[in-house]
Chain A
Amino acid sequence: EIVLTQSPGTLSLSPGERATLSCRASQSVAHNYLAWYQHKPGQAPRLLFYGASIRIAGIPDRFSGSGSGTDFTLTIRRLEPEDFAVYYCQLYGDSPPLHTFGQGTKLEIK
């Protein structure tokens, strides 16, 4: 079973700064079947990327996803106030499916 480890646990930055969030898998992720979600308190989580780097329609292009194999990165180029949230990476596509989530990175305003 693949384990996803996200770092850092908490990232404190100011609006306008660049955020780099890491997701490391304990084994290589087949086909780069890795997704990223944004989750704000009291709201439903929102899918940002799938296939490690394919941006969902409507997600601003200041967000980018990259990586392959075991190392994946979510980058937010210039932070906007609405970007402060918890971000999760997730595996998908296995059979049988084990849609494992990473433990999350909290992006907070400095």
Chain B
Amino acid sequence: EVQLLESGGGLVQPGGSLRLSCAASGFTFSNCIMNWVRQAPGKGLEWISVITTSGSSTYYADSVKGRFTISRDNSKNTLSLQMNGLRPDDTAIYYCAGHRGNTYGPFDDWGQGTLVTVSS
């Protein structure tokens, strides 16, 4: 069974940092392009970052560029998101999502999400 399990969310002060993780199981993680997507309270889904299968290429939405860094460890089947310079408008549920292939395809699999709250 395909499973994506996010962790690392919590309450952080504005300007602070947080590192999210996504543990993958039930599929060949190294063959999948992975993404982070977030949903702010009362808002829709927002794609924020993608990383290729090898980790050699990464892309970001303008809203997080320069503050967030996506990475992966294929030996540990883990996706990460380092979030620095957090702002109140970064408050959201953060989902990891994967495409089962080496193209920028649709998101076949999703985790349940982890909540990040940025507040003083």
A residues sitting closer than 8 Å to B (CB atoms) are 35, 37, 39, 43-47, 50, 56, 86, 88, 90, 92-104
Contact = CB atoms under 8 A, between A and B. Distances in A.
A45 B106 CA distance: 12
Contacts of A102: 44
Interface string B95-110: 1010100011111101
Interface of B: 4, 35, 37, 44-47, 50, 59, 61, 95, 97, 99, 103-108, 110-113
Contact of A93 (B45, B104, B112): B104
10 contacts: A37-B107, A45-B107, A56-B108, A90-B107, A92-B106, A93-B103, A93-B105, A95-B104, A99-B47, A101-B37
B47 A101 contact: yes
Nearest to A101: B45
- The 8 A-B pairs at the shortest CB distance, nearest first, are namely A44-B110, A35-B106, A99-B47, A97-B104, A104-B44, A50-B106, A101-B45, A103-B44
Nearest to A45: B110
Contact of A92 (B59, B104, B110, B113): B104
Contacts of B113: 44
A97 to B, nearest CB: 4
Contacts of A45: 37, 45, 95, 97, 107, 110
Contacts of B47: 90, 98-101
Contacts of A100: 47
